Protein backbone atom coordinates (compact mmCIF):
# COMPACT_ATOMS: atom_id res chain seq x y z
CA UNK A 1 0.00 0.00 0.00
CA UNK A 2 1.34 3.44 -0.94
CA UNK A 3 2.34 5.89 1.78
CA UNK A 4 2.92 9.63 1.94
CA UNK A 5 6.66 9.06 1.36
CA UNK A 6 5.79 7.45 -2.00
CA UNK A 7 3.70 10.47 -2.96
CA UNK A 8 6.40 12.95 -1.90
CA UNK A 9 8.97 11.04 -3.97
CA UNK A 10 6.89 11.62 -7.12
CA UNK A 11 6.28 15.34 -6.60
CA UNK A 12 8.38 17.81 -8.58
CA UNK A 13 9.63 19.46 -5.38
CA UNK A 14 8.42 16.67 -3.12
CA UNK A 15 10.49 17.16 0.00
CA UNK A 16 10.97 20.93 -0.45
CA UNK A 17 8.72 22.91 1.89
CA UNK A 18 7.86 26.59 1.62
CA UNK A 19 7.50 28.25 4.98
CA UNK A 20 7.12 31.72 6.42
CA UNK A 21 7.41 33.38 9.79
CA UNK A 22 4.31 34.40 11.76
CA UNK A 23 5.59 37.99 11.42
CA UNK A 24 5.36 37.93 7.62
CA UNK A 25 2.75 40.28 6.21
CA UNK A 26 -0.23 38.68 4.49
CA UNK A 27 0.66 40.68 1.37
CA UNK A 28 4.17 39.19 1.25
CA UNK A 29 2.81 35.70 1.96
CA UNK A 30 0.27 35.91 -0.86
CA UNK A 31 2.95 37.21 -3.25
CA UNK A 32 5.04 34.14 -2.40
CA UNK A 33 2.04 31.83 -2.83
CA UNK A 34 1.31 33.34 -6.25
CA UNK A 35 4.94 33.23 -7.35
CA UNK A 36 5.34 29.58 -6.30
CA UNK A 37 1.85 28.56 -7.53
CA UNK A 38 0.87 27.06 -4.17
CA UNK A 39 -2.29 27.28 -2.10
CA UNK A 40 -0.70 27.07 1.33
CA UNK A 41 2.42 27.92 3.28
CA UNK A 42 3.60 26.42 6.55
CA UNK A 43 4.10 28.95 9.33
CA UNK A 44 7.28 28.20 11.25
CA UNK A 45 8.63 29.89 14.36
CA UNK A 46 12.41 29.68 14.59
CA UNK A 47 13.97 29.42 18.02
CA UNK A 48 17.34 28.35 19.44
CA UNK A 49 15.93 24.84 19.94
CA UNK A 50 14.88 24.58 16.27
CA UNK A 51 11.97 25.26 13.97
CA UNK A 52 8.44 24.75 15.29
CA UNK A 53 5.36 24.38 13.11
CA UNK A 54 2.89 26.90 14.57
CA UNK A 55 0.31 27.16 11.81
CA UNK A 56 -0.64 26.93 8.18
CA UNK A 57 -1.66 29.84 5.96
CA UNK A 58 -3.99 28.96 3.10
CA UNK A 59 -6.02 30.58 0.35
CA UNK A 60 -9.06 29.96 2.53
CA UNK A 61 -7.48 32.03 5.32
CA UNK A 62 -6.98 34.89 2.85
CA UNK A 63 -10.62 34.81 1.78
CA UNK A 64 -12.18 34.41 5.21
CA UNK A 65 -9.86 36.32 7.50
CA UNK A 66 -8.57 39.07 5.20
CA UNK A 67 -10.92 39.78 2.30
CA UNK A 68 -14.23 39.02 4.04
CA UNK A 69 -13.06 40.71 7.25
CA UNK A 70 -11.94 43.84 5.40
CA UNK A 71 -8.38 43.68 6.74
CA UNK A 72 -5.42 45.30 5.03
CA UNK A 73 -3.03 42.56 3.85
CA UNK A 74 0.02 44.82 3.99
CA UNK A 75 -0.66 45.63 7.67
CA UNK A 76 -1.77 42.20 8.87
CA UNK A 77 0.73 39.60 10.05
CA UNK A 78 0.18 35.98 9.07
CA UNK A 79 0.40 34.96 12.73
CA UNK A 80 -2.85 36.82 13.40
CA UNK A 81 -4.88 35.10 10.67
CA UNK A 82 -3.28 31.68 10.11
CA UNK A 83 -4.96 28.40 10.93
CA UNK A 84 -3.58 27.30 14.28
CA UNK A 85 -5.35 23.94 14.59
CA UNK A 86 -2.98 21.99 12.38
CA UNK A 87 -3.89 18.53 11.16
CA UNK A 88 -0.76 16.59 10.19
CA UNK A 89 0.28 13.17 8.97
CA UNK A 90 3.56 11.26 8.89
CA UNK A 91 5.64 10.00 6.01
CA UNK A 92 4.39 6.49 6.85
CA UNK A 93 0.67 7.30 6.70
CA UNK A 94 -1.24 5.30 4.08
CA UNK A 95 -2.67 7.36 1.20
CA UNK A 96 -6.15 5.94 1.77
CA UNK A 97 -6.01 7.33 5.32
CA UNK A 98 -4.92 10.72 3.95
CA UNK A 99 -7.85 10.85 1.54
CA UNK A 100 -10.30 10.07 4.33
CA UNK A 101 -8.65 12.54 6.72
CA UNK A 102 -8.85 15.34 4.15
CA UNK A 103 -12.49 14.52 3.44
CA UNK A 104 -13.55 14.37 7.09
CA UNK A 105 -11.59 17.45 8.17
CA UNK A 106 -12.52 19.35 4.98
CA UNK A 107 -8.92 20.38 4.33
CA UNK A 108 -6.92 20.59 1.13
CA UNK A 109 -3.37 20.84 2.51
CA UNK A 110 -1.64 18.56 4.98
CA UNK A 111 1.78 19.07 6.59
CA UNK A 112 3.89 15.91 6.71
CA UNK A 113 6.11 15.10 9.68
CA UNK A 114 8.98 12.63 9.74
CA UNK A 115 9.67 10.08 12.45
CA UNK A 116 11.35 12.79 14.59
CA UNK A 117 8.29 15.06 14.30
CA UNK A 118 10.23 17.45 12.04
CA UNK A 119 8.60 18.93 8.93
CA UNK A 120 9.15 16.58 5.99
CA UNK A 121 6.80 17.99 3.37
CA UNK A 122 3.39 19.34 2.49
CA UNK A 123 0.82 17.55 0.37
CA UNK A 124 -2.33 18.87 -1.21
CA UNK A 125 -5.50 17.20 -2.38
CA UNK A 126 -4.23 17.91 -5.90
CA UNK A 127 -1.03 15.97 -5.18
CA UNK A 128 -3.08 13.07 -3.87
CA UNK A 129 -5.40 13.08 -6.89
CA UNK A 130 -2.46 13.27 -9.34
CA UNK A 131 -0.73 10.34 -7.63
CA UNK A 132 -3.87 8.22 -7.66
CA UNK A 133 -4.58 9.14 -11.29
CA UNK A 134 -1.09 8.00 -12.29
CA UNK A 135 -1.54 4.77 -10.36
CA UNK A 136 -4.89 4.05 -12.01
CA UNK A 137 -3.45 4.83 -15.45
CA UNK A 138 -0.65 2.32 -14.87
CA UNK A 139 -3.13 -0.30 -13.60
CA UNK A 140 -5.29 0.24 -16.70
CA UNK A 141 -2.31 -0.24 -19.00
CA UNK A 142 -1.38 -3.46 -17.21
CA UNK A 143 -4.97 -4.73 -17.47
CA UNK A 144 -5.01 -3.97 -21.21
CA UNK A 145 -1.73 -5.87 -21.69
CA UNK A 146 -3.17 -8.81 -19.75
CA UNK A 147 -6.36 -8.85 -21.83
CA UNK A 148 -4.36 -8.67 -25.05
CA UNK A 149 -2.16 -11.54 -23.84
CA UNK A 150 0.98 -9.40 -23.74
CA UNK A 151 1.63 -9.74 -20.02
pLDDT digits (tens, 9 = 90+) for 13-39: 656 899 999 999 999 999 999 999 999
First-to-last CA distance in the chain?
A: 22
- Do strands 50-58 and 40-47 pair parallel, antiparallel, or not at all (unpaired)? antiparallel
Cβ neighbours for 46, distance < 8 A, ≥ 6 positions apart: 21, 52
pLDDT tens column, 45-67: 988 877 899 999 999 999 999 99
Q: Look over the chain and give the mean of its residue pLDDT values, rounded to a whole number.
A: 89
Supply the pTM of this predicted model: 0.84
For residue 115, name the pLDDT band (cuts at 50, 70, 90). confident
Amino acid sequence: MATVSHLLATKKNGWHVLSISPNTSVLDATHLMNFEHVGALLVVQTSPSGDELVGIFTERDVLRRIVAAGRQPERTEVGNVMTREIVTCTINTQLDEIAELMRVERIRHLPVLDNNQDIAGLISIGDLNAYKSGYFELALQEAEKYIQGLA
